[in-house]
A = this chain, B = another copy of it.
């Protein structure tokens, strides 16, 4: 959401055409639905919150909610990380080791997001820990991210994005990162997430010797 308006440093500096009334309304509805959802979940929990309640709170019909978000989980999960991560990763020098580039990428993406939308990040992590459906959907989402990142690494190494080595590489890294996030969430979100990620990546780099 807000990320979209905060990304000029990453996205190509194309001046967006000045949204018509229609698109402005659409965005407002989208935001309204998301905010209503977060509020209701905060108050009564995820499962207890129905689409009907969300629709009512956002002052739209249930049909409309489904028009904006494919599933209930998506209302919570939809984000704009991928383009940011892709841009950062592409901006790294070609001779930098891939793992190092990914480390920087994560650092960059997280710091910008964590300072701007800290509460949302925490809320989401909480849900990821507590609600299986959310966690599940998030994992699926990660495989989209994996595709994007694989493509970038493929471009940079001159291989196919479908190359097994690349896919395994990305899968291992994202699997590890997911686990760090889970751990952080399970332990009351204490400690510095970025440092923990750093350590995880260092472990991967060292060949996972335990």
Residues of A within 8 A of B (CB): 97-99, 132, 135-137, 139-140, 153, 157, 164-176, 178-180, 182-183, 196, 199-200, 203-210
B168 with A176: CB separation less than 8 A: yes
Among B164, B180, B207, contact of A204 (Cβ-Cβ < 8 Å): B207
Give the complex CA separation of A206 and B132 in angstroms.
34
List the B side residues contacting A183 at CB < 8 Å.
164, 167
Chain B: minimal CB distance from A194 (Å): 14
List the B side residues contacting A165 at CB < 8 Å.
199, 203, 210
Give the complex CA separation of A123 and B42 in angstroms.
41
Give the complex CA separation of A99 and B210 in angstroms.
9
Chain B: minimal CB distance from A26 (Å): 26
B210 with A166: CB separation less than 8 A: yes
B204 with A204: CB separation less than 8 A: yes
In the complex, residue of chain B having the shortest beta-carbon distance to the beta carbon of A180: B168
Among B132, B168, B206, contact of A203 (Cβ-Cβ < 8 Å): B168
List the B side residues contacting A208 at CB < 8 Å.
98-99, 169, 172-173, 204-205
In the complex, residue of chain B having the shortest beta-carbon distance to the beta carbon of A167: B179
Give the complex CA separation of A132 and B172 in angstroms.
20
List 25 interface pairs A-B (beta carbons < 8 Å), by A numbering.
Answer: A97-B209, A98-B208, A98-B209, A99-B209, A132-B140, A136-B136, A139-B139, A164-B180, A165-B199, A167-B183, A168-B179, A168-B203, A169-B203, A169-B208, A169-B210, A170-B179, A171-B176, A171-B179, A172-B175, A172-B176, A172-B179, A172-B204, A175-B175, A205-B207, A205-B208
List the B side residues contacting A135 at CB < 8 Å.
140
A164 with B210: CB separation less than 8 A: no
Give the complex CA separation of A168 and B180 in angstroms.
7
Give the complex CA separation of A204 and B176 in angstroms.
12
